[in-house]
Amino acid sequence: MCRHAAWLGAPRTLASLIGEPEHGLLTQSYAPRMQRHGRVNADGFGMGWYDQARAAPVRYRRAVPMWADANLAALAEVARSGCLLAAVRSATVGMPIEETATAPFTDGRHLLSLNGRAAPDAVRALAADAESPCDAAWLAAGVFTLLRAGTPLPAALAETVARTAAKDPAARLNLLACDGATVAATTWGDTLYLREDPGGVLLASEPLDDHPAWRPVPDRHLVLATGDGVRAEPL
C-alpha cells in the first residue's frame, strides 16, 4: 500500500533515497516495480532526518504526490544525515488523505513508517490516541507507547505486529523505524530489500536501483541495523 526506504551509515542526502537512484522513491511514487497492492503512491509523501542542532528529527510531509512538490528536489539535495527515512503513500480505502495520516510519524527521537494495512479494530487498542484516524497512525502510536515505557525499538515493533496480527490475520505490517543510531524493520505480508554497502545499510520496500547487492528479507522477519552491522531474525 506504500513504499518506504531508510539509510543508516555515513552522512548522505535524502536525494539518495528519492530522486538520484533510477528507481528511487520518486519513481516508485508513480511506477513501482514490485508493489502487490495498488498501482501508484500518490496520496502523500514524507521524509525525516537527524540534525545535530535538534534533539528531535526534522520531518517534512505533504498530502500531495511526490512529483507535485516543486520544492522537494532542492530540499532533498541539501538535507543530509547519517540516518534517513522517507516514504510515499497509497492510502487504504476509507482512510483520510492528509498530512497527519502521512509517514513518517514521530515521537521523541523516533521516526516510523508503515507499508501495509490493518483493520481499525485491530489497531485502536494499541494506544490511547493517535495523530490521525488512519491505521498507520494508530500502529505508530502503539509502537511509541511501548517505547515510552522502556521497550527497545526492535521489541516494540515485534510486539505491535504480533498484537495486531492476532486481531487481524490478513493485516500487512511492514514497519520501518529509526532513532538516529538504529534502523529496525519488519516484514509481514509485503516485500523488503536490504543492501549493505561499505558506508552503511539501505532498507527499502523494493530496490532503489539494479545493483546486485540488494537481497530480499524473508517474510515475517525483523531486521535490525546498527553501527555494528545488520541482523535478521524470525518474528
Look up residue 39 and give its amino acid: R
CA 25, 30, 32, 37 torsion-angle sign: positive
Peptide bond into 65 cis (omega under 30): no
Q: Which residues contact 37 (CB under 8 A, 6 or more apart)?
A: 1, 90, 117, 172, 190
- CA pair distance 86, 112, nearest whole angstrom: 9
Write out the three cell numbers for 161: 505486529
CA 111-24-48 angle, 5° bins: 20
Instruction: Name the H helices within 44-167.
Output: 72-78, 120-123, 135-148, 153-167
188-224 in b/e burial notation, b at 16+ Cβ within 10 A? bbbbbbbbeeeebbbbbbbbbeeeeebeebeeeebbb
Task: Write down the catalytic residue from 2, 83, 134, 178.
Answer: 2
Is 178 known to be catalytic? Answer: no
- Write out the catalytic residue numbers: 2
